[in-house]
Amino acid sequence: MGPSRQDPDARSRARETQRRLTRTSRAARAHLILTVVLGLATAALLLAQATLLAQVIAGAFLDGRSLASLTPLLVWLAAISVGRGLLDAGFEAGGRLGAAKVMAELRSRLVRTLLLVRPGTVREERSGELATAAVQGVDALEAYFARYLPQAVLAALVPLAVLAWTVPRDWEAAIVLAVTAPLIPVFMVLIGRLAERSTRRRWRRLARLGDRFLDLAGGLATLRANGRAEAQADSIAAAGESYRRETMKTLRIGFLSALVLELLAMIAVAIVAATVGIQLAEGALGLTAGLTVLILAPEMYMPLRRLGAQFHASADGMASAEAIFAVLDRPPAVAAPAVTRPAPRPDREPLVLEGLRFSHPGREEVLRGIDLRIEPGETVALVGPSGGGKSTLLSLLLRLADPGAGTIRCGGVDLCEVDPAAWRRHLAWVPQRPTVFAGTVADNVRLAAPDAATADVRAAVAAAGLAPVIAALPAGLETRVGEGGRRLSAGQAQRLALARAFLCGSPLLLFDEPTAHLDEETEREVAIAVRKLAAGRTALIVAHRPELATFADRVLRLEDGTITAPADALTPAMRERRSAPPPQRVVA
Amino acid sequence: MNAALRNAIAATRTRRRLLWLSVVLGAGAVLAAVGLLTTSGYLISRAAQRPEILTLAVAIVGVRFFGISRALLRYAERLVSHDLAFRTLTDLRARFFRRLIPLVPGGLPGLGRGELLGRFVGDVDSLQDLYLRGLAPPLVALLAGLVAVGVAFLILPAAALVLAVALLLGGVAVPLVARAAARSAGRRQAAARAELGAELVEIAAGSAELAVAGRGEDWVERAERSGRRLASLQRRDAFSGGLAAGALTAVTALAVVAVVAVSIPAVGSGALAGTMLAALALLTLASFEAVAPLGAAATSVDACAAAAERIEVVLDREPPLREPSAPRPAPDGPLAFEDVGFAYEPGAPPVLDSVDLVLRPGRAVALIGPSGAGKSTLAELAVRFRDPDRGTVSLGGVPLPRIGGEAVRAAVRLAPQDAYLFTTTLRENVALGRPGAGDEEIRAALEAVGLGPWLDSLPEGLATEVGEAGSRVSGGQRQRIAVARSFLARASFLVFDEPTAHLDPAGAADLQRRIAAFADNGAGVLIITHDRVALDAFDEVLELRGGRVERVGRGLPWIHGSARADDGGDGDRHGDPARRLGHGRPRRQRDVGGGVPADLRPQ
């Protein structure tokens, strides 16, 4: 049992997520109803089983009845046994079904949020984690729906049923049960509070200790290079030992609530047995009634005890649902326009940015007033230090986010009044790290133009400088790439994205450091392709390196959220380029 | 049971006494519950014969005794089993870490990256489930089951036989069925899950591109289709899983019916006292607590076996190189590569073909080359993370394999590519270079890499936490901290593998100048880089190409360097005669320009 299961913060978070699941998911509500029905049936069978068993035993013992005369009752008992088995099977199967349905619902909402409501919201390194939560998280939800929830329902139903059954048979035992059962939650809450306060701080420290191993293993090459690996191996053993000692201290308190629960339950059963026994000896009670009460007494506490054990397992499972909710909770990236105007044409109208400001929630402002006018057909290079706001500016132009203040206009139309999807049809975007989707090379090139002819795909591939790479692939354009296929290098992926841009022929190009992470030779090839593509189109190129800036009409420097050095004097290379004939457009 | 799992279980060898203690306590807790119900059954039956109340006193005391001891035994058992799990886990972690040391980075092709190591760490940690849920419960079931059957045998042998059969059904057959159901479900669903998972990764990572390309709806539809495929498999598996779960409840209740059925004739014939009938029925009911956890145990053992196997694969790897039996101390003198060749696998095309390179104290050398040219391999050979296939790497004329690996790395300090920051303070992270270094030295090292102004801006100074794996500092700061680590080391040679990969050109030039300038302190500095900036600051610029090292401009590096050195400085680009002749201290353009580079500004 790791620290996470006992961590009080995680526990209250898990509780909140559970509540939210039931509130927001239709499948979860349907499952809750099913569970209550199964719970009611279980409680009824429990009472029938105890009563019949008591009748059989009392009949054979006191009345001396034969096996033959008791056989009908025994057959009934056997049938009830099978029935209880089936109900438990129903809990489990229903729980698993519910978990699968709820997870499918969450997944569907997640996919829609990611693709339609808030694209570009998840950082690349977190995508694997999120996908795991949305697929494997179903196992964890099963622990909640198939095991925790049934116990929670039974914990509410069974004690009441048992009590109702006991009162007419033996009211003294009923009093014992009625007094002790509510004590259990009361004591657990009291002890839980006590333990929580004393352990909260300790758990936090323990979580750090646990992470330490992960940290050391992750940096092992660095440790070795610095001659510190052996020393850290000793420290792992020492830290583990202190971890254990601390954890055991905490567990001694943490397990107290279970101890009290068990103690109360057991003592209550013992008192019931003694009470029933004395009443029997005094002749105040019949054996059948007494036995029924005795058999039922432990059942009164059973769901409560199981509930405690299942809670931790199900709380662990909530982490995946939490991860998904965290994404669903983010507000939409782009507010839906009140009145939709037709998308302006960036190939005919200038793009005008005025007083553009933007800040990511809870962080310093990234853009602090950008004023910029880009004429149709102009190529503008944007340089500046990393973190200066270049990528953010692109995401505003891509309508992946709304500006905090200021406007982006194209031909006098505020882009906030245009359907983002319609505006994006005029754009081609080459991000810093393009995604290679699972499928063939041709599928990938066709991303923004699914119906393009093969000849056009070939032309786009050639224009992007990707032809030699494709020629070397076993199945050429039909070679499978991405997950489950061939891995493309960063440079190849960049050129693939360029080929996409060539193929879709959009008039406005947005490039985000298309040559970052490339070595020099590849960089040169990509730069040539970018230059070809930009010819005759409007282009905004975020450039990290000088190569890409040399053929721009204007070079702007974006630093600290403002454009600081507008239109530097032309570099010699630029002048040279200017005098050369313009490159031809490759794909119309 | 596979060998890996056996080895994982063998890890409890040194803790055998604790394991037995937890088993005995666990069985005791189950048996106390059995005792409680059995005694109460007898108590009530005896009471129904209306004896003197006093004759019931023993049974009443027994009932209370069993009740209280049950709770205490369970508490003790939980503490002991957790203690055992933590102790074994600590042993396992330390053992795993020690075995991992010689394998990183050379011995785990493709597995050396932090994220993958993290996965192994998760596997090691998941083994605690084995000790907590997989190992003790079967032993507890065996012990408690035997005692319960034994007690039943003393009361009525026929009932004991029925109980034994029922316990075997519930404790062996049901868990096996549950495990088989879980396994086949896992197999069936694995492909569908993997496919859906891959699609979701794409969607999460490429959502912006899909949206811009106008393909969002298509991908939603695609994910829904894969989701439906998985859901239909899950529906089928839910029912088999459900039946496995319900089986134990049915077996338990049927066992009570069967025990009562065989006992009733015995009561009629007088072979069984009537008072014991209820006791036998309740004994049967209670003893199934012993086998209840076994279904979960079976599946957790399966999961642990898979984890154990993955760990074993790592631990079974031969370390890529052997330490000398009588290591020599690292001598003074140059670090030299002579005709060094290296290939990642035998038969594969060599990464390094024939490398010759000499690094002398006090000299700053830059090695440039395209990605994939084997630059990092060369760095790893320099600190003996790997041995060359051909030729020798030597220190002061002694081949590295004759010097202990630790001694080599004390003399030649490598700052690996993507240097790792540990989740601790800035001070600790820099002091990794030389444990015991004072705050003043650490501060000086940080100033030498240009982090002085940043350090001054930190309210907590050296005590600032850098965040999980350095997440609270920028990529550029991280690399400068890693360089500061090496500056602190007082090693004879410093090797930097791509120290400027995450810096913008101005920042890269600044840091490369600072690194080159460090050679003035007498250390031999080798910087491996693809950034052709500030190369004029180095005494020598080499290029790695086609597996060989070539001198760029043969002692006139500034000719090449200046072509790209558009990033400031008005240094001497005309060839210093002293430098050309290789005499005296060359004048290098190592002034570290004013102003704060962009990546050093407070984030």
B216/chain A closest Cα distance in angstroms: 5
Domain covering B3-315 assigned CATH 1.20.1560.10 in the classification: yes
DSSP B433: T
Asked if the Cβ–Cβ distance from A218 to B118 is below 8 Å, we say yes
Residue at A421 is within a domain: no
- Are A15 and A111 members of one domain? yes
Give the range of the structural domain holding residue A15, as residue numbers without chain letter: 3-328
Residue of A nearest to B222 (CA): A111
Residue at A512 is within a domain: yes
Interface test with A, best of B25, B44, B162 (most A CBs within 10 A): B44
Which pLDDT score is estimated for A124?
A: 58
Residue A339 confidence class, pLDDT cut points 50, 70, 90: confident
Across the beta sheet with A405-410, what order do the strands follow? A365-374, A351-359, A405-410, A413-414
Which pLDDT score is estimated for B586?
A: 43
> Mean pLDDT lowest for which of A63-72, A200-209, B56-65, B91-100?
A200-209
Count Cβ atoms within 10 A of the Cβ of residue B531 and give its class: 0-12 exposed, 13-18 middle, 19 or more buried: buried
- Residues on chain B touching A138 (C-beta within 8 angstroms): 234
Residue of B nearest to A397 (CA): B212
A56, A94, A115: residue with CB nearest B219 = A115
- Are A550 and A476 members of one domain? yes
Q: Which of residues 178-197 of A touch B (CB under 8 A)?
A: none
**Has residue A387 got a pLDDT over 90?**
no
B196, B204, B416: residue with CB nearest A130 = B204
- Residues on chain B touching A56 (C-beta within 8 angstroms): 260, 264
| Alpha helices in A358-400, H assignment, sequence order | 390-397
Residues B528 and B497 sit within 8 Å (Cβ to Cβ): yes
Residue A494 confidence class, pLDDT cut points 50, 70, 90: confident
B388/chain A closest Cα distance in angstroms: 18
Which pLDDT score is estimated for A20?
A: 83
Which residue type occupies A128? G
> Mean pLDDT lowest for which of A461-475, B310-324, B472-486?
B310-324
- Are A77 and A172 members of one domain? yes
- Residues on chain A touching B218 (C-beta within 8 angstroms): 450
Residue B572 confidence class, pLDDT cut points 50, 70, 90: very low
Residues 6 or more apart from B180 whose CB is under 8 A from it? none
**End of a domain among A297, A328, A359?**
A328
Residue pLDDT, tens place only, A5-40 = 445 566 677 778 878 887 777 888 888 899 999 999
Q: Is the ipTM of this complex over 0.90?
A: no
DSSP A330: S
- Residues B197, B200, B206: CA angle, nearest 5 degrees: 140
B36, B47, B210: residue with CB nearest A269 = B36
SS3 B366: strand
Residue at A369 is within a domain: no
B372 or B166: which leads in pLDDT: B166
| Alpha helices in B316-466, H assignment, sequence order | 375-382, 405-411, 426-431, 439-448, 452-457
Whether the upstream peptide bond of residue B505 has omega within 30° of 0, thus cis, is no
Question: How high does pLDDT run on average in chain A?
Answer: 82
What residues does A383 pair with on adjacent strands? A557
B314/chain A closest Cα distance in angstroms: 13
- Are A301 and A381 members of one domain? no
- Are A285 and A386 members of one domain? no
CATH-assigned architecture of domain B335-597: 3-Layer(aba) Sandwich (3.40)
Residue A207 confidence class, pLDDT cut points 50, 70, 90: low
B167 or A102: which leads in pLDDT: B167
Residue at A363 is within a domain: no
Kindly tell me the number of DSSP H helices and DSSP E strands found in chain B: 20, 10
A226/chain B closest Cα distance in angstroms: 6
Residue of A nearest to B598 (CA): A385
Residue B593 confidence class, pLDDT cut points 50, 70, 90: very low
A77, A244, A294: residue with CB nearest B257 = A77
* Domain spans in chain B, listed from the N-terminal domain onward: 3-315, 335-597
Question: How high does pLDDT run on average in chain B?
Answer: 83
Mean pLDDT of B286-305: 87
Residue pLDDT, tens place only, A67-90 = 999 999 999 999 999 999 999 999
Asked if the Cβ–Cβ distance from B44 to A277 is below 8 Å, we say yes
> Mean pLDDT lowest for which of A78-92, A118-132, B509-523?
A118-132
- Residues on chain B touching A224 (C-beta within 8 angstroms): 101, 104-105, 385, 409
SS3 assignment for B451-476: CHHHHHHCCCHHHCECCHHHCCCCHH
Residues 6 or more apart from A355 whose CB is under 8 A from it? A369, A370, A371, A405, A406, A407
**How far from B366 is each of B129, B340, B511, B540, B585, CA to CA, in Å?**
51, 18, 13, 6, 17
A234/chain B closest Cα distance in angstroms: 7
A266 touches chain B (CB under 8 A): yes
Which pLDDT score is estimated for B559?
A: 36
Residue of A nearest to B241 (CA): A93
A56, A94, A421: residue with CB nearest B214 = A421
**End of a domain among A328, A353, A386?**
A328
- Are A265 and A381 members of one domain? no
The answer to whether domain B3-315 and domain B335-597 are alike in fold is no
Which pLDDT score is estimated for B165?
A: 97
- Are A278 and A382 members of one domain? no
What residues does B425 pair with on adjacent strands? B465
Which pLDDT score is estimated for A580?
A: 44
Residues A463 and A504 sit within 8 Å (Cβ to Cβ): no
**End of a domain among A293, A328, A363?**
A328
Residue pLDDT, tens place only, A36-57 = 999 999 999 999 999 999 999 9
Asked if the Cβ–Cβ distance from B100 to A228 is below 8 Å, we say no
Residue pLDDT, tens place only, B534-569 = 888 899 999 988 888 888 743 444 433 333 333 333
Asked if the Cβ–Cβ distance from B71 to A259 is below 8 Å, we say yes
Give the whole-angstrom CA distance, residue B565 versus residue B574. 14
A88/chain B closest Cα distance in angstroms: 5
Which of B451, B522, B531 has its CA nearest to residue B496?
B531
How many domains would you assign to chain A? 2
Q: Which two tokens stand for residue B100?
A: 């991992």
Mean pLDDT of B42-62: 90
A123/chain B closest Cα distance in angstroms: 7
B8 or A469: which leads in pLDDT: A469
A107 touches chain B (CB under 8 A): yes
Q: Strands A365-374 and A351-359, how do they pair?
A: antiparallel
